[in-house]
Amino acid sequence: MRLLLVEDDLMIGESVLDLLRAEGYAVDWVKDGEMADTALDSQTYDLVLLDLGLPRRDGLAVLRRLRARKDRTPVLIATARDATAQRVEGLDMGADDYIVKPYELDELLARIRALIRRAAGRAEPVYEHLGVSIDPVTREVTLDGQAVVLSAREWSILELLLARPGMVLSRRQLEEKLYSWKDDLSSNAVEVYIHGLRKKLGPRVIQNVRGVGYMIPKSAP
Amino acid sequence: MSLPLSHSLRARLLWLLLVAILFTAGAQAVIAYRTALAEADVIFDYQMQQMALSLRAGLPVGGELGEPHGTKDEENFDFLIQVWTADGLRIFQSTPQAELPQRAVLGFSRVQARGTTYRLFSIAAGTQVIQVAQDMAARREMAGTLALRTVSPMLVLVPLLMLVVWGVVSASLAPVSRVRQQVATRQADDLSELNEDDLPDEIHPLVHELNLLFHRVRQAFDAQNNFVADAAHELRSPLAALKLQVQGLRRAADDATRDVAINRLNTGIDRATRLVEQLLVLARQQSNSAVGAKAVPIDLTTLARLALADAAGSAAARQIDLGLVQADPGIVMGHDEALRILMRNLLDNAIKYTPAGGTVNLAIRCHDGQTLLTVDDSGPGVAAEDRQRVLDRFYRVAGTEGSGSGLGLAIVKTIADLHQATLSIDRSESLGGLRATVTFTNVS
């Protein structure tokens, strides 16, 4: 899952960045409103963590532009502005949720998970499909009831594919979701992780659509 | 005399008008009475004269007049007729009860008799004297009736007039009560403008001034609200950072990550400490300027040396060449602690935003009766469009270090204001970075 962190406070930014990365999210960090606009224009994110008091362009303006482009990316406003009027304005302008600084990291993570879950059209917190079940909170994976141990990247790829069964994701799409701008990626890294996943889950779960990408089928073959 | 309800415009108008109308009516009645009386005198005198003349023509010489027939007092306006002989004998009397003293004066005269005044006309007829008299009360009565007749329509019209005045005044004052209503029903924090339409010219300026006042108060209110919102943001951000840094520390899996987290936490605490200190400095300077502490002569050069010594440590840590390039003997009226804080903030700002190995210069110049304190740096400077905003509280130039409180220049500006000095931000011609200039005019 790839997140955009929009935060002008360097101390908050670097802490949030590290903590989110430790949770397995690919995170891009921008420090002003104009850069946030540019990033949102050029890249699809699974969630935007948006501060409001930003240099160059206010967070609400960034949000308004995003929604004006009919972009439905979930937006979680994280700001120190706590007046009710500002929360209402933020939510009415198209934000999906609002969290006031200083916040508990666990609450932030739970809200991020909930927003991503809802954006994928699911209510239940655990993904379960074709005998594979993954829990985004505990990061536990089971195959037919048996626990499977995955690396962080493998887990991320499985989560992406399992979130939208029947949808083919190209290698490039997977890379975009897995790596932020700062990460180096070797050209065949995705293939390596897919290979590892198929070894652990068996070949029937993840299918290769040649020349297009990878998918988890909607129903068992 | 204070009129009842004298604070009500309407009541005051009504009372004054009523008094004016009654006074006019009274004056008119007096004039009418006087005129009527004068006219009655002329008419009745003429009548009395004619009566006497006609009596003289028909009076038998030395003869008796006999008894008068049928006295018609009411109709002949109380005329009394008496005829006297030369030796003072009354030979005729029109009304038996009314006896008038004999008067030798011929022509018109007045006599007092039986408790009233009579107008008397005497005329000689041979050896006899004919006297025609009339009670003056009759004349006054007639004049009174005439005067009353003139004034009475007015007395009927007064209540009507009062009603009309009441209506007109009420209608004219309706916009005033509308404004009153608008003010009375508004919320305590509602400082929006009042409707100025349809107001009478006399009240319009008042409401207009009121609206201008509302506008000013609202601006002050908004500024205060903005400050509170900014302060909330600026106070929460370091706390949010601290909280995240603690959580980062808690989640650190190995020693290296833990060291990083501890370092971050330390910087976070330094930042929060600095913010609190700067806020206190700002509050103290603002209360100083509010209290109006007494200014004393201050030698800026001595103060500059102290400030440079204070800042030398942090400059050295960043390999920044910090120095005093010109020191004219500038004495200004001011407060030494405040001016030291001002210099310290300007120097700290310059040092903070200048890359390692750069230069920061402080100078004190005197010319044209002004003393200029300048701090130049070789840093990146501030774009022209941001220069005014950097003076705002909590404003930080985009992409700069998060360790600043955003209060440094706001503090400098507050202290400059306290000294009636101006703070300006330009490009440094000598070093290429930022130049901050404080211009003092109250030179000792």
- Among residues of chain B, what percentage have pLDDT more than 70? 86
What percentage of chain A's residues is helix, strand, coil (to nearest 5)?
A: 40, 20, 40
What pLDDT, in 10s, does the model give residues B400-411? 554 566 677 888
**Pair of tokens at residue B93:** 């009397």
- pLDDT score recorded for residue B363: 93
Give yes or no for residue B442 having a pLDDT over 90: no
Give yes or no for residue B62 having a pLDDT over 90: no
Give yes or no for residue B63 having a pLDDT over 70: no
Phi, psi of B309 (to 5 degrees): -65, -40
Q: Which of A15, A31, A53 sits opposite B241 (nearest CB)?
A: A15
Confidence at B290, pLDDT banded by 50, 70, 90: low
Q: Are strands B79-84 and B359-367 parallel, antiparallel or unpaired?
A: unpaired
Q: Among candidates A184, A185, A208, which has minimal Cα distance to A195?
A: A208
Mean pLDDT of B297-326: 89
Contact B245, B264 (CB under 8 A): yes
CA distance B24 to B29: 9
What pLDDT, in 10s, does the model give residues B11-51? 888 888 889 888 988 898 899 889 888 988 888 889 888 88
Q: Residue A57 has what DSSP assignment?
A: S
- pLDDT score recorded for residue B259: 92
- pLDDT score recorded for residue B382: 79
Please judge whether B243 and A102 are an interchain contact, meaning their C-beta atoms are less than 8 angstroms apart: yes
Contact B196, B211 (CB under 8 A): yes
Using CA coordinates, name the residue in chain B closest to A9: B402
Query: What residues of A are in the B interface, CB distance below 8 Å?
Result: 8-16, 18-19, 22, 31-32, 53, 55-56, 79-83, 100-105
**Pair of tokens at residue B12:** 């005051």
Please judge whether B244 and A81 are an interchain contact, meaning their C-beta atoms are less than 8 angstroms apart: no
Please judge whether A8 and B239 are an interchain contact, meaning their C-beta atoms are less than 8 angstroms apart: no
Average pLDDT over chain B reads 81
> Of chain B residues 232-251, which have a CB less than 8 A from chain A?
232-245, 247-248, 251
- pLDDT score recorded for residue B198: 77
The answer to whether B405 faces chain A, any CB pair under 8 Å, is no
Please judge whether B237 and A16 are an interchain contact, meaning their C-beta atoms are less than 8 angstroms apart: no
Please judge whether A31 and B232 are an interchain contact, meaning their C-beta atoms are less than 8 angstroms apart: no
Q: How far is B328 from chain A (nearest CA, A)?
A: 40
Using CA coordinates, name the residue in chain B closest to A12: B241
Calculate Rg over the CA atoms of chain B: 52
- pLDDT score recorded for residue A185: 65
Please judge whether B398 and A56 are an interchain contact, meaning their C-beta atoms are less than 8 angstroms apart: yes
* Helices A10-22 and A105-119: angle between axes, nearest 10 degrees: 60
Given the cut 0.85, state whether the ipTM is greater than it: no
- Write out chain A residues lying below 8 Å of B227, CB-based: none
Q: How far is B182 from chain A (nearest CA, A)?
A: 26
Please judge whether A11 and B398 are an interchain contact, meaning their C-beta atoms are less than 8 angstroms apart: no
CA distance B230 to B215: 22
Please judge whether A11 and B267 are an interchain contact, meaning their C-beta atoms are less than 8 angstroms apart: yes
**Pair of tokens at residue A130:** 């074709």
Using CA coordinates, name the residue in chain A closest to B267: A11
Please judge whether B236 and A80 are an interchain contact, meaning their C-beta atoms are less than 8 angstroms apart: yes
C-alpha distances in angstroms, B66 versus B84, B233, B353, B378?
Answer: 14, 126, 139, 142
Please judge whether B396 and A79 are an interchain contact, meaning their C-beta atoms are less than 8 angstroms apart: no
Q: Are strands B321-327 and B359-367 parallel, antiparallel or unpaired?
A: parallel
Give yes or no for residue B2 having a pLDDT over 60: no
Confidence at B60, pLDDT banded by 50, 70, 90: low
Confidence at B153, pLDDT banded by 50, 70, 90: confident
- Write out chain B residues lying below 8 Å of A55, CB-based: 396-399
CA distance B320 to B312: 9
The kind and range of the H/E element at B297 are strand B296-299
- pLDDT score recorded for residue B97: 67
What pLDDT, in 10s, does the model give residues B328-386? 888 888 888 888 889 988 998 889 888 889 999 999 998 888 899 999 999 887 777 77
Average pLDDT over chain A reads 87
What pLDDT, in 10s, does the model give residues B187-212? 877 778 888 877 778 788 888 888 88
What pLDDT, in 10s, does the model give residues B257-288? 899 889 989 988 988 888 888 778 877 777 76
More confident residue, B103 or B10: B10
Please judge whether B238 and A11 are an interchain contact, meaning their C-beta atoms are less than 8 angstroms apart: yes
- pLDDT score recorded for residue B108: 85
Q: Can you tell me which residue has the tokens 């003869």?
A: B63
Q: How far is B230 from chain A (nearest CA, A)?
A: 8
Give yes or no for residue A203 having a pLDDT over 90: no
How many beta-carbon contacts under 8 Å exist across A and B? Answer: 80
Calculate Rg over the CA atoms of chain A: 18
Please judge whether B240 and A32 are an interchain contact, meaning their C-beta atoms are less than 8 angstroms apart: no
The kind and range of the H/E element at A75 are strand A75-79
Please judge whether A31 and B399 are an interchain contact, meaning their C-beta atoms are less than 8 angstroms apart: yes
Q: How many CB atoms lie within 10 A of CB B351?
A: 23
- pLDDT score recorded for residue B1: 46
Q: Which of A9, A14, A16 sits opposite B237 (nearest CB)?
A: A9
What pLDDT, in 10s, does the model give residues A114-136? 998 888 877 777 888 888 888 88
Q: Which of B229, B241, B248 sits opposite A9 (nearest CB)?
A: B241
**Pair of tokens at residue A55:** 């240099």
- Among residues of chain B, what percentage have pLDDT more than 90? 8
HEC sequence for A102-169: CCCHHHHHHHHHHHHHHHCCCCCCCEEECCEEEECCCCEEEECCEEECCCHHHHHHHHHHHHCCCCCE
Contact B321, B355 (CB under 8 A): no
Please judge whether A15 and B244 are an interchain contact, meaning their C-beta atoms are less than 8 angstroms apart: yes
Q: Which of A53, A80, A105 sits opposite B244 (nearest CB)?
A: A105
Mean pLDDT of A21-41: 91
- Write out chain B residues lying below 8 Å of A53, CB-based: 233
**Pair of tokens at residue B40:** 């009655």
Using CA coordinates, name the residue in chain B closest to A86: B229
Q: How far is A176 from chain B (nearest CA, A)?
A: 26
- Write out chain B residues lying below 8 Å of A18, CB-based: 248
Contact B436, B375 (CB under 8 A): yes
What pLDDT, in 10s, does the model give residues A66-115? 999 999 999 999 988 777 888 899 999 999 999 998 898 899 999 999 99
Q: How far is B376 from chain A (nearest CA, A)?
A: 25
Please judge whether A11 and B401 are an interchain contact, meaning their C-beta atoms are less than 8 angstroms apart: no
Q: How far is A8 from chain B (nearest CA, A)?
A: 7
- Write out chain A residues lying below 8 Å of B398, CB-based: 8, 31-32, 55-56
CA distance B78 to B81: 10
Please judge whether B398 and A15 are an interchain contact, meaning their C-beta atoms are less than 8 angstroms apart: no
Q: Residue B385 has what DSSP assignment?
A: G
Q: How far is A101 from chain B (nearest CA, A)?
A: 5
Q: How far is A99 from chain B (nearest CA, A)?
A: 12
Give yes or no for residue B219 having a pLDDT over 90: no
Give yes or no for residue B129 having a pLDDT over 80: yes
Query: Which residues are CB-contacts of B226 (< 8 A; sequence separation ≥ 6)?
Result: none
- Write out chain A residues lying below 8 Å of B383, CB-based: none
CA distance B156 to B242: 89
More confident residue, A142 or B4: A142
Please judge whether B242 and A14 are an interchain contact, meaning their C-beta atoms are less than 8 angstroms apart: no
- pLDDT score recorded for residue B132: 86
Among B124-128, B189-193, B251-255, B435-439, top mean pLDDT goes to: B435-439
Q: How far is B334 from chain A (nearest CA, A)?
A: 36
Alpha-helical runs (H) found in B186-254:
204-251
Judged on CB neighbours under 10 Å (0-12, 13-18, 19+), A149 is: exposed
